Amino acid sequence: MSRALEYATPPEWVRLVERRPLELLSDHAHNELKAASTAQAWLLKRPEASALVVRLARVAAEETEHFDRVVRLLYGRGGALLPLDTNPYADALLARSAATRKDRFLDRMVVAALIEARSCERFELLAAHLADAELRALYAGLVESEQGHRALFLDLVREHFEPAVAEARIAELFRLEGEVMAALPFAYRMHSGLVGAEALA
């Protein structure tokens, strides 16, 4: 069963982030690298679970390849990988979910699925609405892989937990993600919100 995100990003978000494509690409590159290193870290926590190891190793490899694609495009345009900044979106998701957490692995997998789902939503918007054809192609080319990651993390949740436990926590954290996103300020970043963006319009 797939589940829709509870906050739908309006296409106007693209009009704003596309003003500073190099900042967006740098942030995006960092996200890809973080996704790769996170998948590797989780894999090392459960070395005995061979099916999990194989699937997470594949995610890590794909995210590393995405990083390579994004960072080459960034450098090709004369941009630079900016210093790693805090990530208000991921930080808020982790902090707010921790308040009601019953199982760390369950929450890790659901939050990972949410981050992938939100990335897919943003990539689809960028692929549809960016004025820049090269960037439209980049994002169109990444959607399918991120959809696969979203599905994989939800599969892992459903394989490891009782259906009632899994579905209740998935629903709870999808709701929470919608609240987090609706309250996030705008920034030239992949997972930014729109709060305060009126000033830029």
Minimal distance, residue 45 CB to Fe ion, in Å:
19
Burial of 138 (0-12, 13-18, 19+ CB in 10 A): buried
Minimal distance, residue 150 CB to Fe ion, in Å:
8
Which residue lies nearer to Fe ion by CB, 27 or 116? Answer: 116
Which residue lies nearer to Fe ion by CB, 73 or 197? Answer: 73
DSSP 110: H
Nearest 5°: the CA angle 155, 161, 163 is 85
Which residue lies nearer to Fe ion by CB, 149 or 169? Answer: 149
Minimal distance, residue 63 CB to Fe ion, in Å:
5
Q: Rg (Cα) of the chain, in Å, rounded?
A: 17
Which residue lies nearer to Fe ion by CB, 116 or 177? Answer: 116
Which pair of tokens denotes residue 10? 């309006």
Minimal distance, residue 196 CB to Fe ion, in Å:
27
Q: What are phi and psi of 128, to 5 degrees?
A: -90, -30
| Residue 196, Ramachandran bin (φ over 0: left; ψ between -120 and 50: alpha; else beta) | left
What residue ranges bind Fe ion (CB under 5 A)? 32, 35, 63, 66, 116, 146, 149
